[in-house]
Amino acid sequence: EAQVTQNPRYLITVTGKKLTVTCSQNMNHEYMSWYRQDPGLGLRQIYYSMNVEVTDKGDVPEGYKVSRKEKRNFPLILESPSPNQTSLYFCASRHVAGGPTRSSYNEQFFGPGTRLTVL
Amino acid sequence: RKEVEQDPGPFNVPEGATVAFNCTYSNSASQSFFWYRQDCRKEPKLLMSVYSSGNEDGRFTAQLNRASQYISLLIRDSKLSDSATYLCAVNTGGASGGSYIPTFGRGTSLIVHP
């Protein structure tokens, strides 16, 4: 089954304790990204990756790191989590092939979400 | 001004009603447009892409108005199961390699009641 998986699904942690949220997709997608979703603010992009070893900042990258060593995996790292990073996090992936116009319509698939609470 | 704006609602409608949502975007260079459906605490799922000529999928019709910079979603004959939050998304950029920057609206909540 084609899917994006995230782990853990739920996490409660304390300020300053490094954590990693994993993301994996089995669709051979080049593009992967991380979003956070907060009430009243909607989905905001944290980081994205166009392909292996290529990552770029999104709208809200502060306090986060990512890596893309393999095509299927795109972990999100919080080196020193703080309470303002309490949020619902989604990983997503899509193809980029198809040329500039067509590829802009490639469907983005989301993982099931990770609910993070930082105390 | 946020780049993509939606009325958060909630839109509270009876079963069988027709309901329409709009979503405005500020970047005239935006290239592709989408409606996503998100159920409570779940991930967004693509409902439909929005093409220049407008498109229909069963009870759902999406339209794009580039001149006024908005997209719309019309739901006919609403069902209880249509209750959800509907997010619009706009892709901008992407000169090469599909490097589009997606921007999401905050979502419009729809509640369909018996």
Average confidence (pLDDT) over A91-118: 82
Rounded to an integer, what distance in angstroms lies between the CA atom of residue A108 and that of residue A89?
15
Min Cα–Cα distance to chain B from A81, Å: 22
Whether residues B107 and A112 touch (CB distance < 8 A) is answered with no
A103 falls in which pLDDT band (50, 70, 90)? low
H helices of chain B, in order, are none
- Any CB–CB contact under 8 A between A50 and chain B? yes
The pLDDT score that the predictor gives to residue A87 is 97
- pLDDT band at residue A107 under the 50/70/90 scheme: confident
CA angle B53, B57, B63 (to 5 degrees): 30
Chain A and chain B share a number of CB contacts under 8 A equal to 63
The CA distance from A21 to the nearest CA of chain B, in Å, is 16
| Cα atoms in the Cβ-side hemisphere of radius 13 Å centred on A54 | 10
Considering just the CA atoms, what is the radius of gyration of chain A in Å?
14
At B15, is the pLDDT very low, low, confident or very high (cuts 50, 70, 90)? very high
* Distance, CA of A85 to chain centre: 14
Q: For residue A58, which residues of chain B lie inside 8 Å, CB to CB?
A: 101
Sheet of B19-25, strand order: B4-6, B19-25, B70-75, B60-65, B55-57
Residues B106, A41: C-beta atoms closer than 8 Å: yes
Where b means 16+ CB within 10 Å and e means fewer, B28-61 reads eebbbbbbbbbeeeebbeebbbbeeeeeeeeebb
| Whether the predicted pLDDT of B12 surpasses 60 | yes
Closest CA of chain A from B21, distance in Å: 17
pLDDT of residue A1: 86
Render pLDDT for A32-45 as a digit per residue (tens, 0 to 9).
Answer: 999 999 988 889 99
Whether A104 has its CB under 8 Å from any CB of chain B: the answer is: yes
| pLDDT cut 70: percent of chain B above it | 93
Q: Where is average pLDDT lowest: A81-90, B24-33, B95-104?
A: B95-104
Q: Tokens representing A81?
A: 């989590």
Mean pLDDT of B32-54: 92
B96-112 confidence digits (pLDDT tens): 545 677 889 999 999 99
CB A5 within 8 Å of CB A23: yes
Ranges of beta strands (E only) in A1-119 are 4-7, 10-13, 19-25, 31-38, 42-51, 54-57, 65-66, 76-78, 87-94, 109-110, 114-118
Percent of chain A scoring above 90 in pLDDT: 80
Q: Give pLDDT, residue B1.
A: 52
Q: Do B95 and A100 touch (CB under 8 A)?
A: yes
Residues of A in contact with B101 (CB under 8 A): 45, 58
